[in-house]
Amino acid sequence: MVRTEISLFMKNEPGELGKLATFFGEAGINIDAITIQDASSYVQELFKARGKSIKRVASPASYNSMRKDSAMFALIRLLPADGMINTAIDLLSKHEYIFDMMPVIALELDNTPGELAKITTRFGEEGININYVYGSVPSPDAKCLFVFCPADIDLAAKIFSS
């Protein structure tokens, strides 16, 4: 149901993900879900949103520089195992990662055709936009774990808690 996702920026170079995963493994923190993307696409979307809602706070040259620099970083979103969020936060702080936390909806779904359609349709019927989603399934017979970041976490939590 409602879980805490950690978003962090990490250097986009060989070995960095292995280092992060080693830190988590040595601390006994299982990662239930993870997604990684080049940070430049995240920054570009952020700039598009800023352009629609607020005035620029930097010159166009500064924005171009930020886009270029952001390609050197990856945006990682991960879901630590239940009960391990504080340990994960302490670990990331200790190793000086730049991170943020976000409440998300984590749902185990049956691994059958149409299951994702049912859930996402329910979000839509309730008027809840999904900012992003990621998920996976370990085998054809297992349940899927999908992580949804809804625009309205409180309403989504009420809907999916029943």
Amino acid at 39: A
Residue 99 has pLDDT above 70, yes or no: yes
Q: For 21-68, how does the pLDDT look when each residue is reduced to its tens digit (9 = 90+)?
A: 999 999 999 999 999 987 776 666 665 655 554 444 455 555 566 566
Q: For 7-28, how does the pLDDT look when each residue is reduced to its tens digit (9 = 90+)?
A: 998 888 899 999 999 999 999 9
Please list, in sequence order, all residues whose beta carbon lies within 8 angstroms of the beta carbon of residue 4, skipping any fewer than 6 positions away.
79, 80, 85, 101, 102, 103, 104
In the chain, what percentage of residues exceed pLDDT 90? 59
Beta bridge partners of 99: 8
Question: What domains, with CATH codes, occur in the chain?
Answer: 2-160 (3.30.2130.10)
Q: Where are the beta strands (DSSP E) in the chain?
A: 2-11, 31-38, 73-80, 98-109, 130-136, 144-150
Considering the entire predicted model, what is its pTM?
0.78
Tell me if residue 71 falls in helix, strand or coil.
Answer: coil
Backbone angles phi, psi at 139, to 5 degrees: -160, 165
